[in-house]
Chain A
Amino acid sequence: MHLQVAKHDEYAALAAEKHVNKQIIYARRGLIQDVNQETLAENVPIVTVVADGSMIMDPVAVAEVLAQPLEMREADLAAKLRSDRRYIVLKKKVPATLASTIANRLRVRSLRGVTFEPDEARNYPNGSMLCHVIGFMNSEHDGVQGIEASMNDYLRGHDGFRFTEHDRTGKEIVLYRGQERAARDGCNVRLTVDLNLQHIVETELEDACSKYKPEKAIAILMRPKTGEILALANRPNFDLNDIRNKPADFLQQNAEAMKNSAVIDMIEPGSTFKIVTASAALNERLVSPSTIIFCENGHFNFAGRMLHDHHGYGDLSVDDILMKSSNIGAAKLALRLGDQKFYEYIRRFGFGERTGISLPGEISGVIHPPHKWAKIDITRIAMGHSVGVTPLQSICAMSAIANGGRLMMPQIVREIADDEGNTIATFPPVEIRRVITEEMANEVSNALKNVVSDKGTAALAKVAGFMVAGKTGTAEKINPAGGYFSGKYVVSFIGYLPADNPEFVGLVMLDDAKVSAELNYGGQIAGPIFARIAEKTARYLNLQPELEQPPSNVILTQRER
């Protein structure tokens, strides 16, 4: 009576605690795929081998079965198994096929007390390719970088559970299975990135890094009409498959290599920013492409400070200011605009705010409002100094010009599908705003065509058979301690083709390339890299050449052997 009635609930609970288990049914993490559904991240089943000391009758026999496949010493194993503890982790990350073999051997010899807890290891078939975009996970299976982090909620799925009872030998009594909820596997995330284009970009960036030994290098390809990112690569990079085998402090020590500089790093863009200055002045109809600006023969004294041009120019048209990349010309255009209007256009081009790309850690950059500007700041900002922008913001701004003045939100995720392939969410192109009129965008585009000509600063960025538009940038590298590093530059080129109907925009940026000062310019270093990437990309996208005669520098744009 005491057992069955008076203390029924207490003893029933004790019995349940002894015999009832909540068995977790693990959900599979979703795959990450490129636009052609090539796998970028997948799962490999592994197990954790666990022993229940209270169930093991013959530790020596169990150790004999386990020692060789688990690559452990038999004596050490037997000592571990002699414990009365109910949960002894013998080995983690054991391949599932090996675990299956061990389980069969134990079954044949009727040995009990060893269980295999299912787990998954993430595998990245392409190693270091696209590593900053894909990202990686921590030991808790949560994404900490890249798409693994930003799409973690979609990828991870939801674990299920099942209440089971087992007999005194540990065998499950299927008849007494309790409440059950099936696991919901994670969704597959399909990116806008094309692995073929990514390979082109990575190969060229790798070659450039071997040749110029920069501290960092970034290359991005983007489709201006939709904002889709076609390729994105950073250097230094790392192998995603190495992360799980590294010690805990590896991440801290190599934080710089793991940073997606394209969205996390802030740089002074240099002359590529002049497209903002020129676009604003044209759009406000303060000047026309042919308006002549006196460029002070290379020395402009403003607010007590001297501004220089690389070469001394007298009168230049607005088109020529872009073509020759005149600092003084750009400064004078900004002065015509005035602080407030100029600031308004900078913000309209998307600088000073996050682009909204689905990658973690994106920064907004630094654009100070006009009331914080010193008097000379407007002349410095006009040529891309005294502002902090991300490479992604720069390519988005250029895409706005290529897209007839419409700024698109950059997209890296194309769609999300469940494990059966049914589409759950798609990400259609998002127009953020119209920045300038289509007419003015075409005017700026015409001026940018001249930049990639024999008279412009980016003659080496020409691509055989195509008209290219673009802008070079060369900025002194900022010293975090204050001021600038002497003789260190961030060189860049942002361009698109075909100039009249752009299919892609490309950015190439090298931070502190190790070359002589007279060669350390965007047009000299980043321009040819862009040309090689663009030539291969145009061929891959099957773009029809529009020019009868190949440009004169066709030999220069071939890869240097």
Chain B
Amino acid sequence: MPNYHRHNNTVPVAALTRWVIVAFFLGAAGLSYVYFKNQLHASGDEIRNLERQLAEFETQNDVVRAKISQLSSRGYLQKRLAEGFIHMTPITDDRIVRINTTPARANELRRVSNEENVK
């Protein structure tokens, strides 16, 4: 007797495989989406941290720059001079030797010291 149901009970491997593959790809795509999304958020957090660190460095830089300006300002140096922390001796006229030089032309650049004489 012929088996009429044999064909009907056969597992539709091809279709199943197709759906499994589709489901796999959909799942993989979904997981990838979540993974990449998380990665993007993690990168975003890292950017934010780096930006914060950069801002902190810039702030520290500004603070230090302001401090340098303050400590090298004329008023502060004058105070240190008065306190005797630094000492300056005025140059008296008898210590100045003037060398006659021709007046500089407009826009002429000259060296501060005469290197040839130093040699």
Are A42 and B74 in contact, CB atoms less than 8 angstroms apart?
Answer: no
Are B59 and A123 in contact, CB atoms less than 8 angstroms apart?
Answer: no
Q: A42-B66, A172-B48, A175-B41 are in contact. Are A125 and B73 (CB under 8 A)?
A: yes
Chain A residue contacts of B75, Cβ below 8 A: 125-127, 129
Q: From residue A460, how far is it (CB to closest CB) to chain B in Å? A: 20
Query: 8 Å CB contacts to B: which residues of A131-189?
Result: 172-175
Chain A residue contacts of B32, Cβ below 8 A: none
Q: From residue A360, how far is it (CB to closest CB) to chain B in Å? A: 25
Chain A residue contacts of B56, Cβ below 8 A: 100
Contact of A173 among B41, B73, B76 (CB under 8 A): B41
| Bound CA span A127–B45, Å | 43
Q: A129-B74, A175-B44 are in contact. Are A97 and B66 (CB under 8 A)?
A: no
Q: From residue A27, how far is it (CB to closest CB) to chain B in Å? A: 13
Q: From residue B34, how far is it (CB to closest CB) to chain A in Å? A: 14
Q: From residue A97, how far is it (CB to closest CB) to chain B in Å? A: 6
Q: A100-B59, A195-B74 are in contact. Are A125 and B44 (CB under 8 A)?
A: no
**How extensive is the interface on chain B, given as a class?**
20 to 34
Are B48 and A96 in contact, CB atoms less than 8 angstroms apart?
Answer: no
Number of interface residues of A (CB under 8 A): 23
B98 at the A/B interface (Cβ < 8 Å)? Answer: yes
Binary contact track B55-75/A, C-beta < 8 Å → 1, others 0:
110011011011001101111
Chain A residue contacts of B47, Cβ below 8 A: 174
B40 at the A/B interface (Cβ < 8 Å)? Answer: yes
Q: A199-B74, A544-B98 are in contact. Are A44 and B62 (CB under 8 A)?
A: yes
- The closest CB in chain A to the CB of B70 belongs to A125
Q: A100-B59, A174-B47 are in contact. Are A125 and B69 (CB under 8 A)?
A: yes
Query: 8 Å CB contacts to A: which residues of B4-55?
Result: 40-41, 43-45, 47-48, 55
Are B40 and A175 in contact, CB atoms less than 8 angstroms apart?
Answer: yes
Chain A residue contacts of B66, Cβ below 8 A: 42-44, 123, 125
**Residues of B in contact with A (beta carbons under 8 Å apart):** 40-41, 43-45, 47-48, 55-56, 59-60, 62-63, 65-66, 69-70, 72-76, 98, 100
- A96-B62, A100-B59, A174-B44 known; 18 new pairs, CB 8 Å cut-off, are A39-B69, A39-B73, A42-B65, A45-B62, A45-B63, A96-B63, A97-B60, A97-B63, A125-B72, A125-B75, A125-B76, A127-B75, A129-B74, A129-B75, A172-B48, A174-B47, A544-B98, A545-B98
Question: Can you list 12 A-B contacts (CB < 8 A)?
Answer: A42-B65, A43-B66, A44-B62, A45-B59, A96-B59, A125-B66, A125-B72, A125-B75, A129-B75, A172-B48, A174-B44, A545-B98
